[in-house]
Structure 1
Amino acid sequence: MGKFQAAFLFIGALCLISLSGVAYGTKSHKVNHYKVQGMVYCDTCRIQFISRASTMLEGATVRLECRNITAGTETFKSEAVTDKLGMYSIKVDGDFEDDICQIVLVKSSDKECSEIPNDVYAKQAAKVTLTNNNGESSDVRNANALGFMRKQPLPECPEVLKELDMYDVPGFKN
């Protein structure tokens, strides 16, 4: 009976060891497929976030860029154009665990709303994670909304800012 118990324990231990690779996210050899999606809006009040005065931009172009963390080399790039709701979707094949991936604004479809914020605090990029080794179970990756700024704020923007308790915004009279 001792040999039987030892064999049973040995087989049980092998099963636990093989399952630990699944539990701790050991890389598999399958190809990962992702869908990165998000929206693009017109920042009609130039406040760098969506407000009730914002509009969604149809026909705007965005780019997904991935760069290797250590080498800094580009590993993936793909562009998409927004639909009538300002939404885009980019299909990605592969695992980019060792990369920094982000969506950036490329081109607006509206001449009056085409400025890309580029100051240090408002750099328009939405980071996305494209790996299964991060605890996310879905293959859909939602990027934060990105906005082009209107050249001149709309006339109703001071009222919108007042509703948001934003009284000290440069360029607006209260």
Structure 2
Amino acid sequence: MAKSFVPLTVVLCVSILPLAAMAVGTPFYIEGSVYCDTCRFGFETIATRYISGAKVRIVCKDRVTLKPEVVGKAVTGPKGKYRVRVTGDRQDQQCLAELVHSPIPGCRVADPGRSTATVILTRSNGAASTRHFANAMGFLRDRPLRGCAALRKLYLDDGDVRAI
């Protein structure tokens, strides 16, 4: 009985200790993208334009007090991509990536359905990766581009959108 217990202990130590060490000081990196919904459809399309220079922040709220804390900020680069470094395990806090600002005139109103993205900032759920991905977030263009009605028809008809 003692012989079978030793290998199990070794296996548990070898697999758990690296995760525990990573959880102590390794930061999370939240990655995502920001776009301008040029047709005001509420989702990304072939007419979508990704925004360089948009501002994003990561906000975590305590589940009991609901006190918000900004834990990271970023500005999107080319192709609308951002990466935010967040230190510390947020355990049971509710964390969101949030849109802050669009530099594009005529595309500065955050889409209410796509202005935030839930992010998980804990390793207590077994996640070992330091990279976490947020859903894309979008601003709405003031007026849809010409051609959006045809694009909508193609999407509704389940047609070939590559034809546009």
How far apart in 2 are the matches of 1:157 and 1:50? Answer: 12
**Which residue identity does 1:133 align to in structure 2?**
S
Identity within the alignment, %:
30
Selected match of 1:135 from 123, 126, 140: 126
TM superposition shift of 1:12: 2.9
How far apart in 1 are the matches of 2:149 and 2:33? Answer: 25
Selected match of 2:63 from 51, 58, 69: 69
> What's the TM-score once normalised by structure 1's chain length?
0.78
Deviations 1:73-92 (A, max 9, x none): 22443221111210011001
Asked which structure has the greater CA Rg, the reply is 1
Q: Which residue of 1 aligns with 2:87?
A: 93
TM superposition shift of 1:154: 0.3
**Which residue identity does 1:106 align to in structure 2?**
V
Query: Is residue 2:159 matched to residue 1:165?
Result: no
Query: Is residue 2:140 matched to residue 1:149?
Result: yes
> What's the TM-score once normalised by structure 2's chain length?
0.82
Gaps of 5+ in 2: 158-164
Contact 2:31/2:83 (CA < 8 Å) preserved in 1?
yes
Gaps of 5+ in 1: 1-5, 167-174
Q: Which residue of 1 aligns with 2:73?
A: 79
How far apart in 2 are the matches of 1:28 and 1:56? Answer: 34
- RMSD across aligned C-alpha pairs, in angstroms? 2.9
Change (3 A) 1:110 1:100: same
Superposition pairs of residues 20-35 of structure 1, within 5 angstroms: 22=16, 30-35=24-29
Q: Which residue of 1 aligns with 2:161?
A: none
Q: Which residue of 1 aligns with 2:47?
A: 53
- Runs (4 or more) in structure 1 with deviation over 4 Å come to 16-19, 25-29
